[in-house]
Amino acid sequence: MAELLDRFAPLMGQRDALFGDGGANPFQVKMDQVLSQTEAMIGNRRTILVGTNNYLGLTFAPEALQAAHDALDACGTGTTGSRVANGTYSGHADLEKTLATFFGKEHAMVFSTGFLANLGILSTLMGPEDFILMDADCHASIYDGVRGSSAQIIRFKHNDAADLDKRLARLADKPGNKLIVIEGIYSMLGDKAQLADIVAVKKKHANTYLLSDEAHSLGVLGRYGRGLPEEVGCEDDVDFIVGTFSKSVGTVGGFCVSNHPQFDTLRLVCRAYVFTASLPPSVVASAIANLKAVQKGGALRARLMRNAKHLHTGLSALGLKIASDVSPVVAVVAPDVQTAVTFWRGLIEAGVYVNLALPPATPFGYSLLRASLCAAHTEEQLEEVIAIFAKVASDIGLITPAKTKRTAVG
Amino acid sequence: MTTIGTEPSAQTVAALVEILGPFNKTGAELKPGTRFTEDLNFDSLVVMEFVAVVEDTFDISVPLNILPDVATIRDLAAAVDEIVAESKS
Ligand SMILES: Cc1ncc(COP(=O)(O)O)c(C=O)c1O
């Protein structure tokens, strides 16, 4: 008889081969004390955080803190119930109204996380006669969501509107509905969807809807922070927007907004909405406060983009390979898994935290040091981060030391 | 996919064997009964890459839904035959 989890033995073997020597291990990073949006104590080391997805730095926004404190005192620590039972407080309804107004959509539905929003919506929207066409680089929650759907699931090549068009054309004589699923900014490499092209393809085909997961673009793109559809100017062509409060909104929770007239049906049939507890009142209050800050966050967005450019330029100048153009996600591509691990350890030991992202979670089998910027990063912090990248990269022989003598950037 | 388990065309099997070449890291013999997981050590990432090549080769979309039922080269060939036939009907 095999042991219970023996089928994961290859994965565990891989982990032990990489981290079994007892050195720093990304699965064990613990923030012992959070100093600010951009710094924490990890063990005894003061560490600059460049991998939090806290794009606008709103986790300590005074209005959100105050609103959360007030809601905590007024309503308690939790709702102890699902949205359709005892778990809908006036705050949840206010949050949905705030979201609908924010996006200029008729309907909004709040889930307990972004993962659950994708799970609930994607498993429910399309039926047995229908088709879901998803970008191959979509997030794990999208893969898990479509797996729960009775529709046929088809992947198209990442960001390839022509490939999507070809696949939709093959389905032209099928009567069912089609749903295209993309992300505004793809989480691993930080590249944007080719939204205008994808919208053009959508419009060519009958009964075809578009859903965009704006997890990494909400608050980041668009004059008012409504994400890639706002930036591209095609908000009416995106039928469903899914998102999360766990990144630029600085708390936790997920949502879907839409103008579809039957949207409220989802409240009864999305199992990930019906059968899980609702968000605690303090989280709801901070989300409402921070959504307002996101909308008025033009200055924060400008600072975020300046920081993104600073880090992208600085790391490129070292001779490191960056996976995408300037973006709040700066993914440095390491030549192989082992080098990525050594690089990551060098960074964390020198006081810089980034995400270590390894295949199969990454596109192209890339081994990545994934940095994400925050509007609250200072120029000095970013200069220090770049200097530490330079030192570690040359220590491990990834770049020649000459390249580390840089003139000022950004 | 009702046809998984029926006998696929020899031509499809041969085409799959050919494109499997670069994916065959275990050196297992490539015949209709060769299993992707057990004999070729395919993990989810390799499966996705391989399916993308199959789609390009036959100019079809292979729905992800059928993958749990595809264990062998024979299963995949039968599924490809059915998808190709359907796209011509
Ligand atoms: C693209 C994408 N969708 C969904 C999620 C899930 O969001 P949440 O953290 O709210 O579950 C994430 C982040 O983890 C993500 O990157």
The helix-helix angle for B10-20 and B73-88 (nearest 10°) equals 120
Tell me the HSE value of A360 on the side-chain side, using a 13 A CA sphere: 12
Name, in order, each residue with C-beta under 8 angstroms of A60's C-beta and a sequence gap of 6 or more.
A36, A37
Asked whether residue A156 falls in the same domain as residue A90, the answer is yes
Domain termination site, one of A245, A263, A295: A295
Residue A1 has pLDDT above 80, yes or no: no
Among A123, A131, A155, most B C-beta atoms within 10 A, so best to mutate, is A155
Secondary structure string (H, E, C) spanning A236-294: HHCCEEEEECCCCCCCCCEEEEECCCCHHHHHHHCHHHHCCECCCHHHHHHHHHHHHHH
Q: Model confidence at B15, in pLDDT bands (50, 70, 90)?
A: very high
CB A257 within 8 A of CB A246: no
Who wins on pLDDT, A80 or A1? A80
Q: What is the distance in angstroms between the Cα of A275 and the nearest Cα belonging to chain B?
A: 25
The pLDDT value given to residue A402: 62
Strands A367-372 vs A329-334: parallel, antiparallel or unpaired: antiparallel
A247 is catalytic: yes
Report percent pLDDT > 70 for chain A: 98
CB atoms within 10 A of CB A233: 12
Q: What is the mean pLDDT of chain A?
A: 95
Nearest-CA distance B87 → chain A (Å): 7
**How does pLDDT run across A116-146, given as a tens digit for each residue?**
999 999 999 999 999 999 999 999 999 999 9
Predicted confidence (pLDDT) per residue in A9-61, tens digit: 988 998 999 998 888 888 889 999 999 999 999 999 999 999 999 999 999 99
Residue with tokens 């299963």: B75
A353 and A404 part of one domain: yes
Tokens linked to A66: 């105050």
CA distance A206 to A203: 7
B5: exposed, middle or buried (Cβ count in 10 Å: 0-12, 13-18, 19+): exposed
**A291/A308 same-domain check:** no
CATH number reported for the structural domain that contains residue A338 in this entry: 3.90.1150.10
Contact A154 B63 (CB under 8 A): yes
Q: Among B65, B66, B69, B83, which would you mutate to test the A interface (most chain A Cβ atoms within 10 Å of its Cβ)?
A: B65
Angle CA(B87)–CA(A197)–CA(A304) in degrees, nearest 5? 135
Residue A323 falls inside a structural domain: yes
Residues on chain A bordering chain B, Cβ-to-Cβ distance under 8 angstroms:
10, 136, 146-147, 152-155, 157, 167, 170-171, 359-360, 365
Q: Do B43 and A360 lie within an 8 Å CB cutoff?
A: yes
Contact predicate A252/A245, CB 8 Å: yes
**Is residue A397 domain-shared with residue A280, that is, in the same domain?**
no
Beta-strand relationship, A329-334 and A321-322? antiparallel
A326 located within any domain: yes
Nearest CB to B61; choose among A136, A154, A360: A154
Beta-strand relationship, A178-183 and A208-213: parallel
Q: What are the tokens at A137?
A: 């680089």
The answer, yes or no, to whether residue B42 has pLDDT greater than 70, is yes
Give the Cα separation of A354 and B78 in Å (integer). 46
DSSP state of B8: P
pLDDT band at A161 (very low <50, low <70, confident <90, very high): very high
Find the A115 Cα to ligand 1 centroid distance in Å: 5
Pocket-forming residues, ligand 1, beta carbon under 6 Å: A 113-115, 118, 139, 141, 183, 187, 213, 215-216, 244, 246, 254
Structure tokens at A213: 């997961």
Mean pLDDT of A359-364: 86
Band of pLDDT at residue B1, cut at 50, 70 and 90: very low
Q: What is the pLDDT of residue A410?
A: 38
Check: CB of residue A213 under 8 Å from CB of residue A120.
no
Tell whether A114 and A154 lie within a shared domain: yes
Q: What is the mean pLDDT of residues B63-82?
A: 94
Question: Can you give the pLDDT at residue A408?
Answer: 45
The arrangement of secondary structure in B10-88, i.e. its CATH architecture, is: Orthogonal Bundle (1.10)
B24: pLDDT strictly greater than 50: yes
pLDDT for A409 equals 45
CB A350 within 8 A of CB A391: yes
A149 and A231 co-located in one domain: yes
Classify residue A9: in a domain, yes or no: no
Q: What tokens appear for A38 in the block? A: 């951009």
Among the partner residues A155, A171, A365, nearest to B45 by beta-carbon distance: A365
pLDDT at A391 over 70: yes
**A78 in the same domain as A145:** yes
pLDDT of residue A403: 52
Residue nearest to atom 16 of ligand 1 (CA): A187
| Residue B3 binned pLDDT confidence (cut-offs 50, 70, 90) | low
Cβ atoms A196, A229 nearer than 8 A: no
- For chain B, the straight-line distance linking the first and the last C-alpha, in angstroms and rounded, comes to 16
Q: What are phi and psi of A178, to 5 degrees?
A: -125, 140
A115 with A243, same domain? yes
What's the confidence (pLDDT) of residue A2?
Answer: 83
Considering only the beta carbons, identify the residue of A147, A170, A360 that sits closest to B87. A170
CA-A253 nearest atom, ligand 1: 10
Which of A295, A320, A345 is a domain's end point? A295
Question: What are the pLDDT digits (tens) for A260-303?
Answer: 999 999 999 999 999 999 999 999 999 999 999 999 999 999 99
Question: Alpha-carbon distance A47 to A387, whole Å?
Answer: 14
Sole residue written with tokens 């951009």:
A38
Whether residues A37 and A175 fall in one domain: no
Query: How far away is chain A from the Cα of B84, in angstroms, using its nearest Cα?
Result: 11
How far apart CA A304 and CA A293 sit, in angstroms, is 14
A183 and A165 together in one domain: yes
**pLDDT classification of A364: cutoffs 50, 70, 90:** confident
The number of folded domains in chain A is 2
pLDDT in tens, A179-230: 999 999 999 999 999 999 999 999 999 999 999 999 999 999 999 999 999 9
- Asked if the ipTM is above 0.95, the reply is no
In a domain, A15, yes or no: no
Which of A52, A115, A146, A185 most suits a substitution to test ligand 1, by most atoms within 8 Å of the C-beta?
A115
Out of A112, A123, A149, A187, pick the active-site residue: A187
Could you give the CA distance from residue A250 to residue A304 in angstroms, rounded to a whole number?
15
- Say yes or no: A125 and A238 in one domain: yes
For residue A201, the domain's CATH number is 3.40.640.10
Cα A91 to Cα A74, A78, A293: the distances in Å are 11, 12, 17
* Domain with A376 in it: 20-56+298-409
Minimal CA separation from B45 to chain A, in Å: 6
How far, in Å, is the centroid of ligand 1 from the Cα of A335?
A: 27
Same domain, A337 and A305: yes
Is residue A71, in this structure, part of any structural domain at all? yes
Which one of A295, A316, A331 terminates a domain? A295
Residue A311 in tokens: 């880090």
What are the domain boundaries of chain B? Answer: 10-88
Considering only the beta carbons, identify the residue of A136, A153, A365 that sits closest to B63. A153
Please name the amino acid found at residue A235.
E
Residue A11 placed within a domain = no
